[in-house]
Amino acid sequence: MTLSSGAPSSGTPVSLRKVLITGASSGIGLAAARMFAERGYQVVGTCRHPSSAPAIPGVSLIAMDCSDPASVERGFLEALQSLGRVEILINNAGVGELGAVEDSTQEDARRLFEVNYFSAVQLIRLCLPGMRERGAGAILQLGSIVYSLQFPFKAQYCASKAALSAFSLSLHQEVYPYGIRVHLFEPGWVRSEFHRRMQPVLRDGSPYAPRLGPFLDFSRDTSSRIPDGEYVARILLGTLENPRAPVRIAVGREAKRFFLVSRFLSHHMLDRILRWKLSRKNGTGNKTPL
């Protein structure tokens, strides 16, 4: 299922082969870097510690800390030197959150927005002049279903992805006349280390502790029914190579199902369904109020 937002982006010429992918050391980014390289694209991937990241045949890894604007600019310039020009930007890097608003700090919230939103905007601003002058380019944004469906204990994460999604849809309207494609991908849950690595933020004696534990189980669901990084990478590649692909794309069964039912149900009903789903504690039937 795809979600159309405005007219389809203009086609990507065959000559667009130089790709910059952020967050390429694990999950979706790693799978996308490997898949694009196997397809013959020239790929530069970014991560915080290239020396300890998995080696990917045909992919150059460079250091970039997306929480540091100076590191983002240095990494971009290094990628530009390696590629010659950035024709395709895949903004994949992101950090998660698991904790109540009361238990988290303002500093944590700012860092999360720096990685999930501001670094992506910074890279886009650096790429746009060259893309516009050449009359061609593609920007692929990893958003999330949380743009439309908000979860508890992830308030800042939901807000950052909502900001990125709204920005991307507005950006599409600005740049499509210059031959620049923008695509927003909205996965539901993705099976990767992203959720398993997250440590919950919990104050001593927090009143939210009884509810956070079950949600942690839900967040770390590893069911084979949940799409993995390779599944999402195939969607990214297929979208890029389809000149008529829509701007907004739901990824995975859960996301497609949500966007379908959201056309017919009220916000009140969607809220009740979400609370019921979260109360199931990872499908075990152990009903813990959330």
What count of other Cβ atoms lies within 10 Å of the Cβ of residue 272? Answer: 12
Whether 85 and 51 have beta carbons less than 8 Å apart is answered as no
By 3-state DSSP, what share of the chain in percent is helix, strand and coil, each rounded to 5? Answer: 50, 15, 40
The rounded Cα 33 to chain-centroid distance in angstroms is: 14
Q: Which of 41, 117, 147, 157 is catalytic?
A: 157
Cβ within 8 Å of residue 90, ≥6 positions away: 19, 20, 21, 22, 29, 32, 140, 142, 236
- Phi and psi torsions of 262, nearest 5°: -65, -15
Q: Which two tokens stand for residue 268?
A: 């009140």
In 3-state terms, what secondary structure has residue 15?
coil
Q: Does the annotation mark 176 as catalytic? A: no
As annotated, the active-site residues are 157
